[in-house]
């Protein structure tokens, strides 16, 4: 279908996109799909909770919120940067060296949906939203298992910070 045959709203959307991107590869349609997927997943989760009769807690305790934050931090980094999880990212990325202790630098490749997914899975800040949402549902559906998983991730975070601090001290001592 040529541009001229498109219905007016589609043509208007294409014109806005062209004005926004200025020729850069920006997968706006795929980003819309990602936002839709997130909204649909949260909506489906909320409906499933309602159907199961499980009630949301009055509030998430401060301790749980802290646990969620640290676990989200670690889980996002594990998914986005860990060498062992790199096969999950390989369809969307290109190896580009290391970025830190046991962490890889990878470049997003491809265009459209592949690029959009690549930007999501290589960026801990982007995965954070999904990870935190998962932990929140987990706390309602299976609080003990979720806290246990979050505790493991929190312990790993503490251990990793200690590794970095220890390396620094070793260097200072020699």
Partner 1 sequence: MAETPFVNSLTEKAREHKHAYSQGEDRPLGSYATLITAYSTIGLGALTFAASRKSTTRISAADIALVAAATFKASRVITKGTITSPIRAPFVKFAGVSGPSELKEEMRVEGPLRALGELVTCPFCLSQWIATTFTTGLFLAPRQTRAVASVFAAVAGSDFLQLLYAQAEQAAEK
Kindly state the tokens that stand for 11: 């043509």
Q: Closest CB to partner 1 among 6 and 25?
A: 25
The residues, ordered by sequence, that sit 6+ positions from 76 with a Cβ below 8 Å of its Cβ are 124, 125, 127, 128, 131
Separation of alpha carbons 52 and 71, rounded Å: 26
Q: Closest CB to partner 1 among 5 and 7?
A: 7
Q: Closest CB to partner 1 among 48 and 161?
A: 161
Closest CA to 77 of 161, 147, 166: 161
Residues at the contact surface with partner 1, assessed by CB under 8 A: 16-17, 19-22, 24, 26, 28-29, 31-32, 34-35, 55-60, 62, 65-66, 68-70, 72-73, 76-77, 99-101, 103, 116, 119-120, 123-126, 128-129, 131-133, 135-136, 140, 157, 160-161, 164-165, 167-168
In degrees and rounded to multiples of 5, residue 81 shows phi and psi of: -135, -15
70 close to 153: Cβ distance less than 8 angstroms: yes
Q: Report in angstroms how near the CB of residue 45 gets to partner 1 at its nearest.
A: 11
Separation of alpha carbons 31 and 103, rounded Å: 26
Q: Report in angstroms how near the CB of residue 136 gets to partner 1 at its nearest.
A: 5
Q: Report in angstroms how near the CB of residue 156 gets to partner 1 at its nearest.
A: 12
* Ramachandran class of 7: left when φ > 0, alpha when ψ lies in -120 to 50, beta otherwise: beta
Q: Report in angstroms how near the CB of residue 140 gets to partner 1 at its nearest.
A: 8
Q: Report in angstroms how near the CB of residue 86 gets to partner 1 at its nearest.
A: 18
Q: Closest CB to partner 1 among 5 and 24?
A: 24
């Amino acid at each position: 279908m040529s541009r001229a045959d498109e219905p007016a709203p589609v043509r208007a959307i294409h014109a806005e996109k062209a004005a926004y991107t200025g020729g850069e590869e920006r997968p706006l349609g795929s980003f819309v799909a990602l936002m839709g997927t997130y909204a649909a997943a949260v909506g489906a989760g909320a409906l499933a909770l309602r159907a199961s009769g499980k009630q949301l807690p009055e509030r998430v305790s401060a301790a749980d919120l802290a646990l969620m934050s640290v676990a989200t931090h670690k889980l996002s980094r594990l998914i986005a940067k860990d060498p062992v999880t790199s096969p999950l990212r390989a369809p969307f990325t290109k190896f580009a060296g290391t970025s830190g202790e046991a962490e890889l630098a990878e470049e997003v490749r491809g265009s459209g949906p592949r690029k959009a997914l690549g930007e999501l899975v290589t960026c801990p800040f982007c995965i954070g939203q999904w990870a935190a949402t998962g932990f929140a549902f987990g706390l309602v559906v299976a609080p003990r298992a979720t806290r246990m998983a979050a505790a493991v991730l929190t312990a790993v975070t503490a251990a990793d910070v200690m590794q970095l601090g220890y390396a620094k001290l070793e260097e200072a001592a020699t």
